[in-house]
């Protein structure tokens, strides 16, 4: 038709305003025709028309969104002309549409399937013309949505001809919707609409990992495996494109529990996770800070921590950023419910409040809660299930490779400024610092630095720094070794003073029996190290009093060179009640489980059990505790050697304790005169002439004396004048025991 002037009118019905068509009288135009509406000399808009009998001839009716888009007012005169689409160039291949709820009050958080939405859209608006920036109303699932056309791409002409796609993409301003057009929905900015499915744009989202982050500069040494495990469990789903995560029905991990010995880097790791993520500054809260003397305030403090995350999720939904909350000393507020003696039950209500916030009815998906504790056994079980603190990670003592990393991190700055002497070997220090935690290694570096600085301080009447020498300050190997031996000792590990007291006179190999004990001991050490089938090896050294069982046990432990060696001895538990004695023994074993290789010497078992033959009486509580601990296998990947000593094998047999040990080794007394003379020669206490005299006296005779008792008798004899020493020694041997049938000295 030739261009004609028509008058703009209001759309007659609500149903027609949802069709995106201009409405005319059937006398003027036919339904399905496309027209251009010229509002000013420079502005033309393309519409598809529908007819309705209520529209006056000569009028053309528009809906409110159409009038808004074209800048039309009621009664305005417009120029209307026919428009024919060039189907080879103007068919819509793909159209991107911005979508939002039409009315803000009708918003909801339920997800809308963009694939179904696209199919519905093509069905409703098939064969209609669309222009870029066009506004329209669309009904889907009984909800009204406001749409705006953002972008139109023409269909590839090759496809229209039935040929393979050429891959060329052509942007157009006006296009015709056809059955195989593709519709892509894009959520309007700041809209709370949730779209799912493939027919939506990949949202330009902020990457969760900070782009400037460098894993090399984290300053966490020895935790590579733990960090990669945390990343895999907690962040892989957050780094992946959200639409794929949605299609998998995957929920993000919302809680990480870090536990392990003090000083191993739990707090450091939590802090670094916060820096690594492109999230808000983490909220760090110490457990005890939550508690408040006023009723209800502790729970309110928990709610305040989550308030920002709740508010943002309500406003932005899935677009909400990540909120990190770090709880240090979590065991202070999340103890097992029902265990507290307090009448207020404040701990229980705090746990309840935390549970409801992390994984309650209105659960938040934009939070990551990191909890840290040295005592995971105290934490309420409900917090540890999946959906809450589901990633449980033990931050244990660093191995040798980890110690190299930690020491390198703490000495990097010194090395950079040439303050570290060339003789400092980090690998040697790592080998020497078995069972040191990260904090203790840092303390070692600090102690070495202090020692080096102290060399350049002149302490006269005033304390001054020798500036000339200070310029040449360097931290040397001897500074580190001095600090290693004197200043910093590992909390978990080998306390040399512990067992060096037991072997201060060395091991006197007076005969084959001693060599056999040490050889068997080393075999058990090798078994513990190398066998995967027996992570727990328990051996009992039994023999008469004073035969040197404890010294041999301490020697085997020292020769093992295990990173953790502890002696569980009755002299540390004098005056302890039965319960506190059980707890002390259990603590030794618990500490041993934290190390890769451990050796525990349980010395003088009958004394630990409070056994006395009169009565007889013993502590059944300690016995049962020891029986359990001797049989309890260490955690996976850990190995434990237990060496027990006793002078009363018969008593342990009656208590059914011998079965708890894998094997028993007998430690005998010196039983012949020749063995005794060999002992004297090894000790070098008497002269050759004196030894010959003693050997002559004891030749062919049998004796029975423990090496420990022999040492005491020798030392007593040596206090006498030289001429009387041999006589005194033989006299003491006889006095200690009794002659048996004229030739056997029994001591």
Catalytic sites, residue numbers: 549-550, 603-604, 631, 708
Among 647, 655, 664, residue whose Cα is nearest residue 622: 655
Sign of CA dihedral 175, 181, 184, 188: positive
Give 29: exposed, middle or buried? Use CB within 10 Å, 0-12, 13-18, 19+. Answer: buried
Q: Hey, what's the torsion of the CAs at 453, 458, 462, 468, to 10 degrees?
A: -80
Alpha carbons within 13 angstroms on the beta-carbon side of residue 174 total 15
Dist CA 443 CA 263 (whole Å) = 10
| Pairing state between β 597-602 and 564-568 | parallel
- Encoding tokens for residue 611? 């056994």
680 Rama sector, left if φ>0, alpha if ψ -120 to 50, beta otherwise: alpha
Residue 712 three-state SS = helix
Contact by Cβ (8 Å): 387, 359: yes
- Chain CA centroid to CA 726, Å: 68
- Contacts with 713 (C-beta within 8 Å, 6 or more apart), sequence order: 705, 729, 732, 733, 736
- Encoding tokens for residue 55? 């529209």
Neighbouring CB atoms inside 10 A of 499's CB total 23
Dist CA 159 CA 89 (whole Å) = 11
Q: What is the 3-state secondary structure (H, E, C) of 114-140?
A: HHHHHHHHHHHHCCCEEECCCEEEEEE
The phi, psi pair for 323, rounded to 5°, reads -110, 125
Sheet holding 323-328: strands in order across? 283-286, 323-328, 367-373, 255-259, 391-394
Dist CA 220 CA 402 (whole Å) = 9
Contact by Cβ (8 Å): 372, 391: no
Alpha carbons within 13 angstroms on the beta-carbon side of residue 365 total 14
Residue 442 three-state SS = helix
Neighbouring CB atoms inside 10 A of 169's CB total 10
Contact by Cβ (8 Å): 106, 59: no
- Chain CA centroid to CA 356, Å: 23
What is the Cα Rg of the chain in Å?
43
For the chain, how are helix, strand and coil distributed in percent, rounded to 5? 40, 25, 35
């Amino acid at each position: 038709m030739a261009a004609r002037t028509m008058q703009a009118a209001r759309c007659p019905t609500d149903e027609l305003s949802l069709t995106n068509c201009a409405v005319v009288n059937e006398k003027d135009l036919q339904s399905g025709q496309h027209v251009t509406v010229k509002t000013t000399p420079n502005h033309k808009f393309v519409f598809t028309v529908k007819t309705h009998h209520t529209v006056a001839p000569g009028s053309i009716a528009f809906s409110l969104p159409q009038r808004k888009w074209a800048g039309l007012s009621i009664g305005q005169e417009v120029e209307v002309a026919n428009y024919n689409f060039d189907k080879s160039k103007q068919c819509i291949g793909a159209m991107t549409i911005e979508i939002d709820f039409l009315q803000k009050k009708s918003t909801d958080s339920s997800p809308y399937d963009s694939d179904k939405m696209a199919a519905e859209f093509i069905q409703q608006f098939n064969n209609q013309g669309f222009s870029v920036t066009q506004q329209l109303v669309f009904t889907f699932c009984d909800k009204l949505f406001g749409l705006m056309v953002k972008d139109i791409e023409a269909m590839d002409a090759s496809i229209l001809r039935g040929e393979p796609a050429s891959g060329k993409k052509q942007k157009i301003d006006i296009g015709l919707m056809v059955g195989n057009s593709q519709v892509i929905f894009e959520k309007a900015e700041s809209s709370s609409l949730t779209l799912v499915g493939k027919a939506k744009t990949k949202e330009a989202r902020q990457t969760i990992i900070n782009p400037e982050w460098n894993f090399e500069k984290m300053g966490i040494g020895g935790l590579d495996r733990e960090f990669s495990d945390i990343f895999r469990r907690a962040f892989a789903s957050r780094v992946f494109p959200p639409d794929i995560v949605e299609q998998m029905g995957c929920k993000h991990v919302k809680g990480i529990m870090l536990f392990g010995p003090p000083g191993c880097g739990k707090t450091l790791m939590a802090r670094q996770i916060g820096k690594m993520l492109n999230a808000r500054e983490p909220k760090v809260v110490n457990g005890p800070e939550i508690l408040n003397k006023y009723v209800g305030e502790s729970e309110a403090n928990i709610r305040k921590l989550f308030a920002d995350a709740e508010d943002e999720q309500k406003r932005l939904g899935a677009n909400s950023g990540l909120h990190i909350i770090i709880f240090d000393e979590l065991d202070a507020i999340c103890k097992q419910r029902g265990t507290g003696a307090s009448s207020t039950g404040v701990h229980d209500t705090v746990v309840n409040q935390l549970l409801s916030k992390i994984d309650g009815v209105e659960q938040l998906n934009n939070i990551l809660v990191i909890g840290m504790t040295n005592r995971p056994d105290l934490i309420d079980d409900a917090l540890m299930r999946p959906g809450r603190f589901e990633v449980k990670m033990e931050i244990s003592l660093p191995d040798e490779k980890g110690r190299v990393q930690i020491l390198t991190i703490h000495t990097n700055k010194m090395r950079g400024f040439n303050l570290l002497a060339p003789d400092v070997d980090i690998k040697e220090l790592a080998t020497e610092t078995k069972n040191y935690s990260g904090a203790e290694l840092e303390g070692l570096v600090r102690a070495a630095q202090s020692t080096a600085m102290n060399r350049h301080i002149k302490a006269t009447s005033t304390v001054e720094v020798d500036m000339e020498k200070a310029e040449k300050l360097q931290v040397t190997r001897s500074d580190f070794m001095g600090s290693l031996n004197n200043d910093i000792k590992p909390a978990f590990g080998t306390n040399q003073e512990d067992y060096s007291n037991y072997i201060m006179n060395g091991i006197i190999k007076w005969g084959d029996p001693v060599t056999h004990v040490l050889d068997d001991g080393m075999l058990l050490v090798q078994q513990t190290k190398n066998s995967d089938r027996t992570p727990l090896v328990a051996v009992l050294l039994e023999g008469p009093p004073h035969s040197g069982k404890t010294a041999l046990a301490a020697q085997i432990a020292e020769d093992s060179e295990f990173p953790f060696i502890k002696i569980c001895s009755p002299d540390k538990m004098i005056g302890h009640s039965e319960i506190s004695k059980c707890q002390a023994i259990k603590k030794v074993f618990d500490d041993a489980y934290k190390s890769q290789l451990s050796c525990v010497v349980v010395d003088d078992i009958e004394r630990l059990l409070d056994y006395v033959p009169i009565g007889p009486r013993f502590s059944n509580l300690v016995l049962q505790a020891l029986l359990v601990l001797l049989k309890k296998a260490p955690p996976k990947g850990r190995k434990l050697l237990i060496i027990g000593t006793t002078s009363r094998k018969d008593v342990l047999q009656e208590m059914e304790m011998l079965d708890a040990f894998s094997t028993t080794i007998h430690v005998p007394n010196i039983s012949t005169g020749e063995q005794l003379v060999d002992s004297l020669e090894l000790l070098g206490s008497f002269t050759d002439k004196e030894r010959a005299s003693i050997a002559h006296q004891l030749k062919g005779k049998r004796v029975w004396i423990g090496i420990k008792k022999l040492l005491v008798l020798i030392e007593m004899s040596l206090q006498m004048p030289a001429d009387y020493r041999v006589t005194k020694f033989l006299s003491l041997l006889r006095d200690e025991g009794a002659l048996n049938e004229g030739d056997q000295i029994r001591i």
